[in-house]
Amino acid sequence: MPEPMIRVRDLTKRYQRGGETLTVLNNLKLEMEEGRFYALMGPSGSGKTTLLNLVGGLDSPDSGELIVAGENLAELDNNDLARWRAANVGFVFQGFNLIGVLTARENVELPLKLTPLSAAQRRKQAETALQLVGLGDRMDHRPRQLSGGQEQRVAIARAIATDPKVILADEPTGDLDRKSAEQVLDLLVRLNREFKKTILMVTHDPAAAERAQSIVHLDKGQLGRIEHNQPAVAAK
C-alpha cells in the first residue's frame, strides 16, 4: 500500500482559555490517500478548522505526529515550514482571504514569487490558473470589484498556481450562494479528477460533502465514521 498523503497519529491539540484547558483534538488518528477528495464534517466547534490548520502547518500540535506530503512537520522550523507550505499546500478559506490592494492576477502571482520562476513565467502561470477557474476576463479586477463566487475562484486559482499536492479548503462555499457554491465545488472536483490533487474540504453542507469521494466526521475531538461515496460526480 502506498504511503498516504496525510498521516495523522495521536494528534492532540489543546487551547488555554482563561484558566481552563480545552482539548480540541484528542489523540486523533487519520490517514488520507493521495489523489482523493475528502470532506470533513462535524458540529461547530468540533475542531475542523483546527485540524485543517495543523495539517497545513499553520499551527503546531501539543503532541502527536503529522506527516503530510512525505514530510514530518514536527521536524521543520518556522521558516522551513513556510517553505514547505509554499511548495506543497494550497489553502482556500471561507472568507476568501485575498489581498485587497492587489488585483486578481497579482494575488495569484503572489505565491509564485516563492518559486524560482521568472516574472514572465509567473505572469503566464497566474493567467493560466485564472483561465482555468473561468476568470480570464477579470484578471485586473481588485477583490472588491468581484462577486463572492469570483473571489473564491481567484483564491482557488491562487491555491493551485504553485501546483501543490494538497489543497486544504475551510468551508469554501460557506459564504456563497447556491450557484456560486456549485461552481466552486465543480472546480474542486475537477482539480481532484484532472490534476490528481488531494483535497481536504471542511463543510457544513451535506450537498457539498456529497461531491467528495469520502466524508470524514469529527466530533468532540474524535474521529467518527468515514463514508465512502461513489466516485465523485462532476456536475452537469
Partner 1 sequence: MFKLVFKNLISHPIRSGITAVSVGVALFLICLLTSIVTTLQSGLEAASATRLVVMSSISLFVDIPLSYQERIAKVDGIKNIVKWQWFGGYYQDQKNFFAQFAVDPDRMFEVYPEVKVDEATKQKFLTQRNACIVGSQLAAEFPEWVETGKIPITGALFPHPSGAAWDFELAGVYRSEAANFDNRTLFFRWDLFEETLKGEGEAPGVGVYVMNVEPGADIERMRAEIEGMFENGPATVRCDTESEFTRQFISMLGDIPMFLSWIGAGVLVAILLGAINAMLMAGREQTHDVGILKALGFTDGAAFGLLITQSLILCVFGGVLGIALAAALEAPITLALGAQFPGFFIKDSTYLAAAAVSLVVGLAAGAVPAWTALRVNCVEALRAKGA
Ligand X SMILES: Nc1ncnc2c1ncn2[C@@H]1O[C@H](COP(=O)(O)OP(=O)(O)OP(=O)(O)O)[C@@H](O)[C@H]1O
- The reply to whether 196 sits near partner 1 by the rule CB under 8 A is no
- Compare residues 126 and 209 and give the one whose CB is closer to Mg ion: 209
Opening angle at CA 37, ends 36 and 41, nearest 5: 135
- Choose the contact partner of 119 out of ligand X, partner 1, Mg ion, none; CB within 5 to 8 A by kind: none
- The reply to whether 211 sits near partner 1 by the rule CB under 8 A is no
Which x/- pattern over 63-82 shows residues binding partner 1 (rule: CB under 8 A)?
---------------xx--x
Sheet with 6-17: list strands edge to edge: 20-32, 6-17, 63-68, 71-72
CB 72 within 8 A of CB 65: yes
- Compare residues 50 and 103 and give the one whose CB is closer to ligand X: 50
* Burial tier of 18 (Cβ tally within 10 Å: 0-12, 13-18, 19+): exposed
CB 8 within 8 A of CB 70: no
CB 182 within 8 A of CB 211: no
Using the contact rule CB under 8 A, the part of the chain among 54-62, 175-183, 189-197, 228-236 near partner 1 is 54-62
Q: Report d(CA 73, CA 213) in Å as an integer.
A: 26
- Compare residues 47 and 90 and give the one whose CB is closer to ligand X: 47
Using the contact rule CB under 6 A, the part of the chain among 26-34, 40-48, 68-76, 123-131 near ligand X is 40-48
Q: Rule CB under 5 A: which residues touch Mg ion?
A: 49
CB 195 within 8 A of CB 165: no
- The reply to whether 168 sits near ligand X by the rule CB under 6 A is no
- The reply to whether 44 sits near partner 1 by the rule CB under 8 A is no
Interface with ligand X in residues 45-74 (CB under 6 A): 45-50
CB 232 within 8 A of CB 192: yes
* Burial tier of 86 (Cβ tally within 10 Å: 0-12, 13-18, 19+): middle
- Compare residues 143 and 221 and give the one whose CB is closer to partner 1: 143
Cell numbers describing residue 226:
468515514
Interface with partner 1 in residues 96-155 (CB under 8 A): 97-102, 106, 110-111, 113-114
Q: Which residues bind partner 1 (CB under 8 A)?
A: 53, 56, 58-59, 78-79, 82-87, 89, 91, 93, 97-102, 106, 110-111, 113-114, 158
Q: Which residues bind ligand X (CB under 6 A)?
A: 15, 17, 22, 24, 42, 44-50
